[in-house]
C-alpha cells in the first residue's frame, strides 16, 4: 500500500544504524575521483523526485543526474521485472551507487541491489535539504499532482500550488459510471468519453458540443480541473481536450485511481451537486494548437526530419504492422515518416511511460529513448496512437516536462488508415 507523506518521512529516522552512511560531499568526491562514473539513486516517491517539496521543505526535485527508483516498487515486482527496471534505468552493477531517501527504505533497496549483483552501494543519511547544489524539477510538475496533495485540497488544508480559483475533480472513463458509483474520489464528477469523442474516427466532438459539456460541468476558463481515471489515458484524453478548449489550469492525478486507492484515502458513492455555468469566459477553442487534424498532420510531415516529429505512441507490434491493436481497426502498419515514440505491450498499456505504481516515468528516461528516435524538444511535435488516449497521456508527460510545441494528432492511425 502506498504510504502517507508523513509515514515516508518518519521512517527515515528509525534505522540509521542499518547501513554505512555517506554524505553528499562523499558523492561529489567519488564523482571527481571516478570521473563521474558514479550512480545516484533517488529512492523516494516519484512525486518528490518530480519537484513536489517534502513536508517542511520549500523546494523539491532531485540531485542532477539522479535516477528515480522508489524503494516501494521492489514489493510490486517479480525478479524478472526487477532485472528489467534495473536495465531500463541503465544502472551498472560495478559502478559505485549512492542511495538517498528515508534510511529504512534505502536499506531495503540496498539489500535488493546487492542481491542482484551490485558491488558497492552506500546510503546518504543526510536530509536532501543539506545538499548544496541546485535541485532539478519538472518545469510544470505542479500539473501532475500526488494523491496526498489532492486529499489535502479536499480537506481544505493549505497546500503548495493550490487552485487559484474554483476547482473541479473529474473521473473519466468510457461507458456507464458503474465503477464510479461504487467508489470514487469525494466530490468528483463523472465524464463518459462518449461525451467528448464520437464516431466514425473517435475524434473529439464539435467545439459547440465541447462548450455545452464544460458549461454543464460548471467549468470556466479559470477553473482548476483535476482529472483521474481507472485508466489514466482516459483522463489524459479529456485533459488534452480541456487544454484545447482553453482551461488555464489542468491537473492530472499522478498514478490515477490506483494512487488514490493505494494511499487508502476516503472514497464516496454519491455524486456532487453541480451548478452549470452560462459562459466559459473565452472563445472555444482558445488553444487550438494543442490538437491537430489530418491535414495538419500531413503538412507536419513535409517539414525536415530535424524540425518535426509525428510520434507514434503505439506498441512496437502495432508500429511494425503485426497487429492493428484494435478489433475495430483492420489496417496494419504505420504512417510513413512517423517516428516510433514507444508505448507499451499492447494498445491498452503504456509501460514505457509508467513506473511500477503507474505514476509517470522519469523525464530523463523518456527523453533518452526519444532522443534515440530523433524526437527533440525544439521540434514541432505531435503525438498520435490509435484514436487518441495513449497519445494524450504522453502529450501531458511532454507538457509537464516543459516541451512547448506539442499537440495530439486527433485522428491517429485509425483515421489515417481509413482515409
The four Cα atoms 149, 257, 203, 366 give a dihedral, to 10 degrees, of 70
Give the integer Cα–Cα distance in Å for 236 and 389.
7
| Phi, psi of 82, rounded to the nearest 5 degrees | -65, -45
**Residue 71: count of CB within 10 angstroms of its CB:** 22
User: CA dihedral defined by 169, 174, 180, 185, rounded to 10 degrees?
Assistant: -30
User: Is 385 labeled as catalytic in the residue annotation?
Assistant: yes
Residue pointed to by grid coordinates 494528432: 409
The closest alpha carbon to 394, from 338, 337, 313, 284, belongs to: 313
Among 11, 43, 101, 385, the active-site one is 385
Residue 99, strand partner residues: 41, 123
Nearest of 337, 338, 295 to residue 314 by alpha carbon: 338
Under 8 Å between Cβ of 125 and 22: yes
Q: What angle do CA 166, 207, 339 make, to 5 degrees?
A: 95
Taking residue 307's Cβ as centre, other Cβ atoms within 10 Å add up to: 11
- The terminus-to-terminus CA distance of the chain in angstroms comes to 47
| Lookup result for grid cell 528509525 | 14
Q: What amino acid positions are annotated as catalytic residues?
A: 385
Amino acid at each position: 500500500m502506498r504510504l502517507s507523506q508523513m509515514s515516508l518521512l518518519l521512517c527515515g529516522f528509525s534505522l540509521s544504524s542499518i547501513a554505512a552512511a555517506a554524505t553528499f560531499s562523499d558523492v561529489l568526491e567519488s564523482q571527481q575521483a571516478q570521473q563521474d562514473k558514479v550512480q545516484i539513486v533517488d529512492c523516494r516517491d516519484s512525486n518528490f523526485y518530480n519537484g513536489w517539496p517534502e513536508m517542511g521543505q520549500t523546494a523539491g526535485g532531485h540531485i542532477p543526474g539522479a535516477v528515480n527508483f522508489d524503494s516501494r516498487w521492489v514489493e510490486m515486482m517479480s525478479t524478472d521485472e526487477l532485472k528489467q527496471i534495473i536495465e531500463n534505468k541503465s544502472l551498472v552493477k560495478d559502478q559505485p551507487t549512492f542511495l538517498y531517501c528515508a534510511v529504512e527504505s534505502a536499506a531495503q533497496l540496498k539489500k535488493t541491489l546487492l542481491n542482484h549483483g551490485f558491488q558497492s552501494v552506500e546510503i546518504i543519511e543526510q536530509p536532501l535539504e543539506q545538499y548544496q547544489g541546485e535541485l532539478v524539477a519538472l518545469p510544470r510538475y505542479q500539473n501532475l499532482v500526488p494523491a496526498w496533495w489532492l486529499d489535502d485540497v479536499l480537506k481544505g488544508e493549505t497546500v503548495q500550488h493550490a487552485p487559484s480559483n474554483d476547482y473541479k475533480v473529474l473521473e473519466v472513463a468510457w461507458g456507464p459510471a458503474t465503477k464510479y458509483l461504487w467508489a470514487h474520489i469525494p466530490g468528483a464528477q463523472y465524464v463518459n468519453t462518449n461525451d467528448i469523442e464520437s464516431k466514425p474516427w473517435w475524434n473529439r466532438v464539435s467545439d459547440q458540443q465541447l462548450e455545452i459539456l464544460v458549461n454543464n460541468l460548471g467549468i470556466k476558463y479559470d477553473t482548476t480541473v483535476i482529472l483521474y481515471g481507472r485508466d489514466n489515458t482516459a483522463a489524459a484524453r479529456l485533459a488534452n481536450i480541456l487544454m484545447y478548449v482553453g482551461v488555464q489550469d489542468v491537473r492530472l492525478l499522478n498514478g490515477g485511481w490506483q494512487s488514490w486507492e493505494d494511499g487508502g484515502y476516503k472514497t464516496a458513492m454519491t455524486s456532487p451537486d453541480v451548478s452549470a455555468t452560462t459562459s466559459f469566459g473565452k472563445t472555444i477553442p482558445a488553444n487550438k494548437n494543442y490538437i491537430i487534424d489530418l491535414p495538419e498532420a500531413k503538412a507536419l510531415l513535409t517539414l525536415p526530419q530535424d524540425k518535426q516529429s509525428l510520434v507514434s505512441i503505439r506498441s512496437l507490434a502495432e508500429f511494425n504492422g503485426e497487429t492493428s491493436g484494435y478489433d475495430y481497426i483492420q489496417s496494419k502498419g504505420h504512417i510513413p515518416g512517423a517516428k516510433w515514440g514507444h508505448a507499451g505491450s499492447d494498445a491498452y498499456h503504456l509501460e514505457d511511460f509508467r513506473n511500477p505504481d503507474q505514476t509517470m516515468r522519469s523525464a530523463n528516461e523518456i527523453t533518452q529513448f526519444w532522443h534515440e528516435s530523433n524526437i527533440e524538444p525544439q521540434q514541432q511535435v505531435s503525438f498520435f496512437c490509435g484514436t487518441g488516449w495513449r497519445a494524450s497521456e504522453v502529450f501531458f508527460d511532454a507538457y509537464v516536462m516543459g516541451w512547448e510545441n506539442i499537440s495530439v494528432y486527433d485522428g491517429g492511425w485509425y483515421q489515417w488508415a481509413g482515409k
